[in-house]
Every structure is written in structure tokens, then in C-alpha cells.
Amino acid sequence: MTTENAPVTPKILRDETIIDVEHVSFWYGDRPALKDVTMAIDRQVITAFIGPSGCGKTTLLRLINRMNDLVPQVRMTGRIRMNGVDIYGPDTDVTRLRRRVGMVFQQPNPFPKSIYENVAYGPRIHGVKSGGFLDEIVERCLRRAFLWEEVQAQLEESALGLSLGQQQRLCIARAIAVEPEVLLMDEPCSSLDPVATSRIEELMLDLKDDYTIVIVTHNMQQAARVSETTGFMLKGELVEMGVTDAMFTTPRDRRTEDYITGRAG
């Protein structure tokens, strides 16, 4: 954790808030994807975003680690702060930001390298040389991702030989190998079977103690099972956000109710 070093502005932030999104709007070309989204994400809880396809939840997620920088012809207004610092500010080093905000993608996407090299990739680019220390990191992260027992005998084999569920856990191990504070998960179980899905969910609940997890899912049951806070998005707007249980039992907004009861979306 590097929170000690980060400048904090206590007036605005409650101390449990790690990410603050203020009046963010976003366009792909002329097409609006987010409309004036404001919200806060708390430290070391699991926050879920649900909503129909194209509602902007993945866009919102990808703004937090600036992955949308890679997309041409996009425009953003508003402000996103992490630990009080504007991550779109002129002094922000994008690679350092991404190191602190890890990401797990919809499709398991291990590198076409060995299992070991997949986990070692992040530490290596951040300057860790081969040797015992790197071995330790790899083992620790694989254990943390509930994968060590299954793969310890085949660390040098291709990661592409693993099952999809194992590949996704490897991607989680790869993400936590650079010691991020926040872990963004973009529909991490959408290509997995129910057994693999439940293993990932188990893993998320375990990781919660050390990481702030933001998950995008269109599986409402999953959001209900793992998250403490849920946001419902529709057509680029954040309709409502609150404690998960409350939202699923007594939604405040009519549109949320329609969506979670299956009447719309």
C-alpha cells in the first residue's frame, strides 16, 4: 500500500473512499457513453456495477486505470481522483497509475508464455530481476490466486494449456503481482462455467481483505453474492448506487426495480 505517500484532501473525502468520480462524461467520437457520473468507491470492499449491455459500465471501469487512453478519438470531461489525486492530471504517470490499479479482463488473456513468465511479467517490467525474489513473488501470487497447487509442477509450461478458469485465475495472479491497491474486473466470469465462476467468486471474497475490487457484471446474482456496494447503470447514467442488499430488496429508482425484476433491460 502506498497510501501514506499520497496527498489526501480530508475535507472532500471520507477516509474510506479510495476513488472519487466527479461529473464524468465520456464520448466515443460523437457517441456519448457516460453522462455526468458521480460516485465514490470505498477501500477494501467489493463494488459491483450492473446494467444492460452498452450501459457504460465497462467504459467507467476502464476510465479508472485510463485504459481508454489507448482508444483513438475519445473525449472526457469531469474528474476522477484516486486517494485525492486527479488521475487525469498533468503530473500523473499513466504506467504508475496502472501499476496501482490492476485489471482482469472479460476474456482470460494470459500471454503466450509460460505460467511462470505470465506472473513474472509485471514485476520484471518494473525492475525485478530474475532470481529467488522473483520466484517468491510468483509463488506468493499463484498461492493467493488459489492456483499454486494445480500448477506448481508445470510452471514452465505454456499458460495456454490451462483451462479457462485456471487461465482467469492466472490473470488475477498476474494482476496482483505488481501489488496494486485496486483490482478492476471486467465481467471476469462471462466466459467461464459455473464451477470455475464460483472459484473466482471465492477468490474475490478472499482478496477483499487486501484489495479494493471493482467488478462489472451483467450477472445480477453474482453482484448480489460478492459485492457490498452495487451501482446500477443505464444508457450512460449511474441510476443509483448503494448497499447491495438494500438495492436488491428496496431499490429507490423505478428503473432499477424494472431491471432487477426482469421487466426491462
Q: What is the nearest approach in angstroms of another protein to the Cβ of residue 96?
A: 7
The HSE-up count of residue 80 (CA atoms within 13 Å, CB side) is 20
When asked if residue 178 is in the footprint of another protein (CB under 8 A), the reply is yes
Contact 212, 41 (CB under 8 A): yes
Range 68-73, long-range pairs (CB < 8 A, 24+ positions)? 68/26, 69/94, 71/28, 73/28, 73/29
Interaction of residue 217 with another protein, rule CB under 8 A: no
Q: How far is CA 242 from the centre of its chain?
A: 18
Query: In the numeric block, which cell numbers belong to residue 60?
Result: 467507467
Cα separation of 65 and 54, whole Å? 19
Q: Which of 17, 58, 59, 65 binds another protein (CB under 8 A)?
A: 65
State the minimum distance, in angstroms, from the CB of residue 66 to another protein: 9
**What are the grid coordinates assigned to 73, written together?**
478519438
Span from 20-28, 167-175, 201-209, 223-231 in contact with another protein (CB under 8 A)? 167-175
Residue with cell string 460516485: 39
Decide if residue 214 touches another protein (CB under 8 A).
no
Residue 74, beta-bridge partner list: 28
Q: Which of 42, 79, 23 is nearest to 212 (CA)?
A: 42
Pairing of β 212-216 and β 46-50: parallel
* Residue list 71-90, contact with another protein (CB under 8 A): 72
Cβ-based nearer residue to another protein, 178 or 247:
178
Q: Interface mask (CB under 8 A) for another protein, residues 116-145, using x and -?
A: -----xx-xxx-------------------
Indicate the residue among 16 and 156 with the shorter CB distance to another protein.
Answer: 156
Helix axes of 164-176 and 194-207: crossing angle, nearest 10 degrees: 20
Residues 93-112 that bind another protein (CB under 8 A): 95-99, 102-103, 105, 107, 109-112
Could you give the string, one character per residue 142-161, with x where binding to another protein holds by CB under 8 A and - elsewhere? ----------------x-xx
Q: Report the nearest approach of another protein to the CB of residue 133 (Å).
A: 18
List residues binding another protein (CB under 8 A): 65, 67, 70, 72, 95-99, 102-103, 105, 107, 109-113, 121-122, 124-126, 158, 160-161, 164, 167, 171, 174-175, 178, 191
